[in-house]
């Protein structure tokens, strides 16, 4: 969601911070700002510039000779207070000596604001973050570290923060609790960010802070410690992704680039994992031996948004191939219903970023109750990867567009690998294992084949783009595909859409069908083909238009997108690809800002 960038060193800071903010634009934001520690001998305190709107608006507002020795910057996604210059970060204390940028939500902000106001403090914004700047400024402590620690002691909620203080010009102090903070290590310079995307052009040596951890950055050194003051010894890691991975690579949008990266991305998630000898796969990171795997009596998958939809696909795969009862549930709801945590249930937490707060909180609740939890994530070293007992990386590479495409597909393929692994440990035959392996190997080429039909899909999108609403339907394996396609269309084009199991259409949603509400139907050639065709008949009888995604032309559909056949269990992976293109080209036809859809953020790190 919000983005943090900070730097201390000898470079020209403002351009560097602006570049970092631009690399975080994909996360979603409504305003931006910078605070600089002025060079020695410069009159006045901290220097700030803030602007509602885009990073380019902030750049236009920067004063001349806007330089310093250290700086922090921020892109804000509104939670407390509407987008405005006043609500943009960084926030200052009453003296103007303290500047704070903050990701997360301070739950007790209202009480803290009331106490500060009662003490005569004039609050100039509507944000929760401003209280933190005042608390740091009012803290009676000798060092900046102690001031920040004292202020955080009065905070309830989540935070990733970076703090400057005019009286301590040689340092930036940062802290994390529930919102990512990454340190970047350079030669006589140090960086901090909420996402490695802001760092990779300058350094690949990074340290990811854990919850309850703080750090002090100076130009030539750093140290990490807990919020209680105990030293920690976080080891640097090397970022695998190149800076070029965060560029558009000749495509007009990141979403278009990432859709077209899927053949290579799927090849990566398969690479080195297919075991031809035993018709299974190698998943060493699960930390789950064969005896433990056979002891699993149920699988519960938790995720949010697209991650939840891949969980639905994963649950079907696990039930079909491993014959273990499995279901998926929104992680955002799970921990609020006092769930029964069964020691024989294997829990899977799914998140592209590995930092999704609702999913991370569900993991922490499960761990508190003694459950075994595995992570299915894309980002190495992320919070969920660290908190879980093991898991799988999906190796999709950096996904910059707010709308998930390649990570959704790679996660679905990762679930196929897991289902095959569990199935072969249990009762799945060698022949079926060999059949699924063959299907997995065909996927990259078949995805490329679907992408070659983009021009026709774009023409279809133009034909349906001005519908007042759209219905998406599918049965069993096809229903999660319909749900994800409906979400994609809403996210990126703002066209209202609903998804239903095709069998449920006659139980109420048929009332919505008319010529202005077309239906997208997922119709694979499986044992439910005739039942799906009966649904198409019901829609046509009520004057509805139909766009089918199928393995062959559908006589009752107005239009059909034909996709290649794979094994029935893997067909959902392929049938989702043209629907990503449909959403993309619908948004393009409607003139939407595809990589920055309104009101949304990439990594949702608040509750």
Q: What are the respective helix, strand and coil percentages of the chain, to the nearest 5?
A: 40, 20, 40
Structure tokens at 544: 């509805």
At residue 48, the pLDDT reads 92
Which active-site residues does the annotation give? 2, 602
What is the distance between the alpha carbons of residues 157 and 155, in angstroms, rounded to a whole number? 6
Radius of gyration of the chain (CA): 25
Sign (positive or negative) of CA dihedral 263, 267, 270, 274: positive
N-to-C CA span, the chain: 11
Structure tokens at 293: 């795997």
Residue 266 pLDDT grade (very low, low, confident, very high; cuts 50, 70, 90): very high
At residue 604, the pLDDT reads 63
Q: Which fold has domain 3-242?
A: 3.60.20
Structure tokens at 408: 């959704």
What is the distance between the alpha carbons of residues 228 and 150, in angstroms, rounded to a whole number? 10
Give 591 or 40, the one with higher predicted confidence: 591
- Full-model pTM: 0.82
* DSSP-derived secondary structure letter, 599: T
Task: Give per-residue pLDDT as tens, 104-141.
Answer: 889 999 999 999 999 999 999 999 999 999 999 999 99
At residue 214, the pLDDT reads 96
At residue 601, the pLDDT reads 65
**Nearest 10 degrees: Cα torsion 100, 106, 110, 113:** -20
Largest CA distance in the chain: 80
- Neighbour-count burial of 272, counting CB atoms closer than 10 A to its CB (0-12 exposed, 13-18 middle, 19+ buried): exposed
Residues 6+ apart with CB under 8 A from 564: 446, 449, 450, 551, 574
Task: Give per-residue pLDDT as tens, 141-180.
Answer: 999 999 999 999 999 988 999 999 999 999 999 999 988 8
Residues 6+ apart with CB under 8 A from 448: 263
Task: Assess contact for 98 and 139: CB atoms under 8 A.
Answer: no
Left, alpha or beta for 406 (phi > 0: left; psi -120 to 50: alpha)? Answer: alpha
What is the distance between the alpha carbons of residues 426 and 291, in angstroms, rounded to a whole number? 10
Task: Assess contact for 93 and 151: CB atoms under 8 A.
Answer: no
Q: What are phi and psi of 241, to 5 degrees?
A: -80, 140
Domain ranges in the chain are 3-242, 248-452, 454-607
Left, alpha or beta for 188 (phi > 0: left; psi -120 to 50: alpha)? Answer: left
Sign (positive or negative) of CA dihedral 563, 571, 527, 432: positive
Superfamily name with CATH number, domain 248-452: Glucose-6-phosphate isomerase like protein; domain 1 (3.40.50.10490)
At residue 239, the pLDDT reads 78
Task: Give per-residue pLDDT as tens, 54-112.
Answer: 889 999 989 888 888 899 999 987 787 888 988 999 999 999 999 999 998 899 999 99
Residue 23 pLDDT grade (very low, low, confident, very high; cuts 50, 70, 90): confident
Give 579 or 78, the one with higher predicted confidence: 579
Cα atoms in the 13 Å half-sphere on the side-chain side of 375: 28
Query: For the domain with range 454-607, which CATH number is right: 3.40.50.10490, 3.30.750.24, 3.30.565.10, 3.40.190.10?
Result: 3.40.50.10490
Q: Which range, of 23-32, 420-429, 470-479, averages the lowest pLDDT?
A: 23-32
Residue 9 pLDDT grade (very low, low, confident, very high; cuts 50, 70, 90): very high
Distance of CA 159 to the CA centre of its chain: 17
Residue 602 has pLDDT above 70, yes or no: no
Mean pLDDT, all residues of the chain: 92
Task: Assess contact for 246 and 197: CB atoms under 8 A.
Answer: yes
Give 429 or 25, the one with higher predicted confidence: 429
* DSSP-derived secondary structure letter, 90: P
Task: Give per-residue pLDDT as tens, 382-416.
Answer: 889 989 999 999 999 888 888 999 999 999 999 99
At residue 82, the pLDDT reads 86
Residue 28 has pLDDT above 80, yes or no: no
Same fold, 3-242 and 454-607: no
């Amino acid at each position: 969601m919000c983005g943090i960038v900070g730097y201390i060193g000898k470079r020209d800071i403002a351009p560097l911070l602006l570049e970092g903010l631009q690399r975080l634009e994909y996360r979603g934001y409504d305003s931006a700002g910078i605070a600089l520690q002025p060079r020695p001998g410069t009159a006045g305190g901290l220097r700030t510039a803030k602007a509602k709107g885009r990073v380019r608006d902030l750049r236009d507002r920067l004063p001349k000779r806007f330089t310093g020795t250290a700086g922090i910057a921020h892109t804000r996604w509104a939670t407390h207070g509407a987008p405005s210059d006043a609500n943009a970060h960084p926030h200052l204390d009453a003296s103007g000596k303290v500047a704070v940028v903050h990701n997360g939500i301070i739950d007790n902000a209202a009480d803290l604001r009331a106490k500060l106001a009662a003490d005569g403090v004039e609050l100039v914004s509507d944000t929760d973050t401003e209280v933190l700047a005042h608390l740091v400024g009012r803290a009676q402590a000798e060092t900046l570290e102690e001031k920040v620690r004292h202020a955080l002691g009065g905070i309830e909620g989540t935070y990733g923060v970076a703090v400057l203080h005019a009286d301590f010009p040689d340092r930036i102090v940062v802290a994390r609790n529930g919102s990512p903070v990454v340190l970047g290590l350079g030669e006589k310079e140090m960086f901090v960010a909420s996402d490695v995307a802001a760092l990779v052009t300058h350094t690949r040596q990074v340290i990811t802070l854990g919850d309850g951890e703080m750090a002090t950055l100076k130009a030539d050194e750093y140290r990490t410690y807990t919020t209680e003051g105990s030293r920690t010894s976080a080891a640097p890691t090397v970022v695998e992704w190149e800076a070029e991975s965060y560029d558009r690579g000749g495509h007009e949008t990141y979403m278009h680039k990432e859709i077209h990266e899927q053949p290579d991305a799927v090849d990566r998630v398969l690479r080195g994992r297919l075991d031809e000898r035993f018709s299974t796969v190698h998943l060493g990171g699960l930390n789950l031996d064969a005896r433990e795997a056979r002891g699993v009596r149920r699988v519960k998958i938790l995720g949010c948004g697209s991650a939840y939809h891949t969980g639905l696909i994963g649950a079907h795969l696990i039930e079909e191939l491993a014959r273990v009862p499995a279901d998926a549930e929104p992680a955002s709801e799970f921990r609020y219903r006092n769930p029964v945590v069964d020691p024989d249930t294997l829990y899977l937490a799914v998140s592209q970023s590995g930092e999704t707060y609702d999913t991370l909180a569900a993991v922490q609740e499960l761990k508190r109750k003694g459950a075994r939890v595995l992570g299915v994530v894309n980002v190495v070293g992320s919070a969920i990867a660290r908190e879980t007992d093991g898991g799988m990386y999906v190796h999709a590479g950096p996904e910059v567009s707010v709308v998930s495409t390649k990570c959704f597909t790679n996660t679905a393929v990762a679930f196929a690998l897991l289902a095959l692994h569990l199935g072969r440990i249990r009762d799945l035959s060698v022949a079926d294992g060999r059949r699924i392996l063959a299907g997995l190997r065909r996927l990259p080429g078949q995805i490329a084949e679907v992408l070659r039909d983009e021009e026709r899909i774009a023409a279809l999108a133009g034909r349906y783009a001005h519908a007042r609403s759209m219905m998406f339907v599918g049965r069993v394996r096809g229903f999660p595909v319909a749900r994800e396609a409906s979400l994609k269309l809403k996210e990126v084009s703002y066209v209202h859409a609903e998804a239903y199991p095709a069998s449920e259409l006659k139980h109420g949603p048929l009332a919505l069908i008319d010529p202005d509400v077309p239906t997208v139907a997922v119709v694979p050639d499986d044992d439910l083909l005739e039942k799906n065709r009966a649904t198409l008949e019901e829609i046509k009888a009520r004057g509805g238009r139909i766009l089918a995604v199928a393995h062959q032309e559908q006589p009752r559909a107005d239009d059909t997108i034909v996709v290649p056949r794979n094994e029935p269990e893997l067909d959902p992976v392929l049938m989702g690809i043209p629907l990503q293109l449909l959403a993309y080209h619908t948004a393009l036809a409607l003139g939407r800002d595809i990589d920055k859809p309104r009101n949304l953020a990439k990594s949702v790190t608040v509750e």
